[in-house]
Amino acid sequence: MPDLSGLVVLVTGASAGIGRHLAEGLAARGAAVAGLARGGERLRAAMDDVAAATGGRTLAVPADVTDAAAVDAAVARVTAELGPVGLLVNNAGAIDAAEVLLWEADPEQWWSVVESQVRGPFLLARAVLPGMLAAGGGRVVGLASGLGTRGDARYSAYSAGKSAQMRITEAIGLAGAGHGVRAFDVAPGVVDTAMTRAMPMHAGRTEWTRPADVVDLVVAIAAGELDAWSGRFLRAGADTLDALRATTPAGDARRLRLLPYGDADPLA
């Protein structure tokens, strides 16, 4: 079990679901964990529970990830009370309200999903990265999805947002490479949460990704064990830590790219 003592972590969407699991898993390994979410009361209760369960230091910072001023203030508070953020986990994000075709979607709700998946991670990274650069490095994890690697007829907003978030991860990885900053897309699989239970596509599902698999993957990233995978896509519950540690990906492996139609494709 890696010891993350001395590491300051900021997890968005930390009051429930995967974010809550990650907050507790990271705190249990010694990290000081700041949780960010819109609902202050539920967030504070969750962070208090994490502290009680782990003995770790936690901080609840209510904020809307799509509000630039609120994000800047939240990161400033975390830095003042816990120290510079060494690991940012962009977990918060909404999903399409209904499984409908794109032309049937409500424009405001559709765009709010994209904003949560793109504007949120951008604003958090923009606020956190200067501190990482000043400290000589850090790591950013974006909670990804298989729907970000392919289109989907009925989850067009979520798919578009997750694809864009992967481009943000790659941009951070490329720009930060010479400064000790690394970034990763971590797809959690299908974890049993209120959000996934509400999705008709998962109706009747009986097999779920274990939350522990997601936690273990992010902990390994936090400990610096998977730095060779910076800028690339990892999948909890499918990728094993032994295989990831033993593999150095090359070229465009696990990156979002166009596939050529054949050897004669001029874009190949």
Catalytic residues: 158
Phi-psi group of 184: left, alpha or beta (phi > 0 → left; psi -120 to 50 → alpha; rest → beta): beta
Phi-psi group of 83: left, alpha or beta (phi > 0 → left; psi -120 to 50 → alpha; rest → beta): left
Q: Are 35 and 58 in contact (CB under 8 A)?
A: yes
* Tokens (6 digits) for 250: 């090359």
Q: In angstroms, rounded to a whole number, what is the distance separating the alpha carbons of residues 30 and 23?
A: 11
Q: Are 182 and 163 in contact (CB under 8 A)?
A: no
Count of CB atoms within 10 A of residue 39's CB?
12
Q: What are phi and psi of 32, to 5 degrees?
A: -85, 125
Q: In angstroms, rounded to a whole number, what is the distance separating the alpha carbons of residues 93 and 113?
A: 7
Q: Are 222 and 139 in contact (CB under 8 A)?
A: yes
End-to-end CA separation in angstroms for the chain:
43
Shortest CA distance to 65 belongs to which of 113, 121, 9? 121
Whether the CA torsion 75, 76, 81, 82 is positive or negative: it is positive
Residue that has been written with the tokens 């273990």 in this structure: 216
